[in-house]
Structure 1
Amino acid sequence: MPIYEFECSGCGHRFDRLQKLSDPDPSVCPACDVAEVKRRVSAPSFRLAGGGWYETDFKKDGDKKRNLAGDSEAAKPSTPAPSTTSTSSDT
């Protein structure tokens, strides 16, 4: 459930509330009991930074850990391996 921030335009009191998306917003300020509460737009308290955080952090121990977002080798075209058969000539 998301945490929403609210502010009373009457007294300026700010408060947070954990509620579902479908729950109605509070209409009365808990500090002054005035019906002037509005939802504030605020930044989240965490940030998922970096490329490939899911790939590198949540893999099992047996899986190959790699960063797909920053993997420069994935962008390179693959070249065929050199042939292992040798053609030597006896002279």
Structure 2
Amino acid sequence: MPTYHYRCKNCGYDFTKEQSFSDEPIRVCPKCGQEQVRKVYSAVPIEFKGHGFYRTDGASSSKSSSSK
């Protein structure tokens, strides 16, 4: 189940909650009770593995193939 990060715009309280994709987002702050909670989005780490992701992974150049 994914974990979501939330922040209250009213009091600044940060918290995380494990929720299903079908669950409604949290709107009421558990600390101050105001309906000011929003999801916080951040960059997702990506790891490229295998061939084809780097500039050097392309077709063989004539320099490397002609040297014997």
Bin of the TM-score, shorter chain as denominator length: 0.5 to 0.7
Which of residues 47, 50, 53 is equivalent to 1:49?
Answer: 47
Which residue number in structure 1 is paired with residue 3 of structure 2?
A: 3
Instruction: Give the TM-score normalised by the residue count of structure 1.
Output: 0.50
Instruction: Decide which structure has greater strand share.
Output: 2
Distance 1:28 1:50 in 2: 38
Unaligned runs of 5+ residues in structure 1 are 53-68, 77-91
Distance 1:48 1:42 in 2: 12
Distance 1:48 1:24 in 2: 27
Distance 1:49 1:42 in 2: 16
Question: When the two structures are aligned, how many residues end up with a matched partner?
Answer: 55
Give secondary structure in 2 for the equivalent of 1:31. coil
Give the greater-gyration-radius structure (CA): 1
Give the root-mean-square deviation of aligned CA atoms: 2.0
Structure 1 residue 21, shift from structure 2 partner:
1.1
Distance 1:28 1:15 in 2: 12
Structure 1 residue 49, shift from structure 2 partner:
2.3
User: Which whole-Å deviations, capped at 9, do the CAs of 1:26-50 have from their partners, x for residues lacking one?
Assistant: 1111111111111111234xx4524
Instruction: Give the TM-score normalised by the residue count of structure 2.
Output: 0.65
Q: Any runs of at least 4 consecutive aligned residues in structure 1 with deviations exceeding 4 A, and if so which? A: none
User: Which whole-Å deviations, capped at 9, do the CAs of 1:65-91 have from their partners, x for residues lacking one?
Assistant: xxxx16xxxx57xxxxxxxxxxxxxxx
